[in-house]
Amino acid sequence: MSETAPKRPIFILTHEFDPRRGGIATFCEEIALAAHEAGHPVEVWTHLDSAGKGRSWPFTVRRLDMTGTHGVCCRLATLKALIAGRKRLQEATLLLAEPGPMMACFWLLPFIGLLPRSLRLTFHGSEILRFHADPFTRLFTRALIRRAERISTLTEYTRDLLCTRFPAAAGKTVLTPGAVHSAPQPSAAAGLPPSTGTKRLVVLTVGRLHPRKGQLQTLQALAALPAELRDQVEYWIVGRASGAHYEHQLQLAAAATKLRTRFLGELHEAQLDLVYRRADIFALTSIDHGHSVEGFGLVYLDACARGLPIVAHRIGGVPEAVADNITGLLVPPGRPEELTAAFKSLITDPVLRRRLAEAGPAWSRKHSWQTSVRALFEPATAAPPRDIRTL
């Protein structure tokens, strides 16, 4: 009986990884974990964890001398690691999991031997528009796409965005849909916001404080509710600020309304899970903002898994994460009256809330990270995962 051949090692380069939170960090963690569980030797190269807050992982995590931005210093640190490790990488598959390491590899493109033959890229959305907008970056991106064996996106929306602007990607792009986050179960309620002792419904938003995430649109829609309904809700905002200006704008807007609003900042997993348990409605009303778009939104699946009805904008890849009138209510962006009406429907109709909530857990399990790993790393004859909208 012949032994099964060992699986090819996988190196994942990313500037976003544990303990950093966010959709791209979650994608990188889950792909690495699923690849390890599939039998691949996995090594992640990423930013420093100076505070020592990162989880322990069953695969190797190499911390490079960088903070994890897209700046020149971080790109140089990634470049240095790639050059130093080029012999190991030639016998492995290299995944550039987000734009940071892609930009570092732009500088290696003239030197063919420094990039491994088995190269994978994952695009998430906004970087496609940014890369295409600059003529020089556009040229480098085209060359990197031609060099890659396989490319992945989380949604059909992002795939179409990529292939429209970089047609060379069309014949080598597979879907690697997001799935539920496999974070460890919380063990304590430390830092949980105290109960207000009321029966108000909690509307929850989880996401970095950025104009593209639409916290202002949610706040304004809730504030526009009739007074008797507005008094029945609280708006909780979870997430780190990506800039002081927008956070200040949100705080001023909240202070100018009679809507009870709580800014909870960035929470660790135990706190976040318990905040989800206290919530009644999840809202993330993303909008297009310059070259920033919502390619998918893994947080929608996290909300579904916890049985929360969702209010969101029908934009970007969101309809592939939220099933309209099944797990949530989708509203066209730029229509504040319709957004307020969606919240009104959920606040006043407990049967609707329950129906959407009960559909969420099953919907969130439609895809698995294991399926995405097969699509990204297994031989090309393996069928890519289906679009979530066909399930």
Maximum separation of any 2 CA atoms in the chain, in Å? 74
Query: Does residue 186 register a pLDDT over 70?
Result: no
Query: Does residue 380 register a pLDDT over 60?
Result: yes
Question: Which percentage of the chain shows pLDDT scores above 70?
Answer: 92
Average pLDDT in the chain: 91
Q: What is the pLDDT of residues 16-59, one digit of tens each?
A: 999 988 899 999 999 999 999 999 999 999 999 877 778 899 99
CB 375 within 8 A of CB 151: no
For the entire predicted model, the pTM comes to 0.90
Q: What is the crossing angle of helices 99-106 and 135-147, to 10°?
A: 90
Domains of the chain are 10-179+367-390 (3.40.50.2000), 201-364 (3.40.50.2000)
Query: Does residue 372 register a pLDDT over 80?
Result: yes
* pLDDT value, residue 199: 82
Other C-beta atoms closer than 10 Å to the C-beta of 39 total 10
Residues 267-288: what's their mean pLDDT?
95
Confidence label for 189 from pLDDT (cuts 50, 70 and 90): very low
Paired with 274 in beta bridges are none
Q: What is the pLDDT of residues 130-169, one digit of tens each?
A: 999 999 999 999 999 999 999 999 999 999 999 999 999 9
Q: Which residues of 197-225 are buried (b: 16+ CB within 10 A; e: fewer)?
A: eeeebbbbbbbbbbbbbbbbbbbbbbbbb
Residues 324-331: what's their mean pLDDT?
98
Q: CA-CA distance, 203 to 264, in Å (whole number)?
A: 13
Query: Does residue 384 register a pLDDT over 90?
Result: no
Q: Computed from CA positions of residues 306, 312, 315, 319, in that sequence, does the dihedral angle turn out positive or negative?
A: positive
SS3 60: strand
Q: CA-CA distance, 152 to 97, in Å (whole number)?
A: 9
Q: CA-CA distance, 5 to 340, in Å (whole number)?
A: 57
User: Which of 291, 286, 292, 290 lies closest to 300 in space, CA to CA?
Assistant: 286
* pLDDT value, residue 74: 94
Query: Does residue 190 register a pLDDT over 80?
Result: no
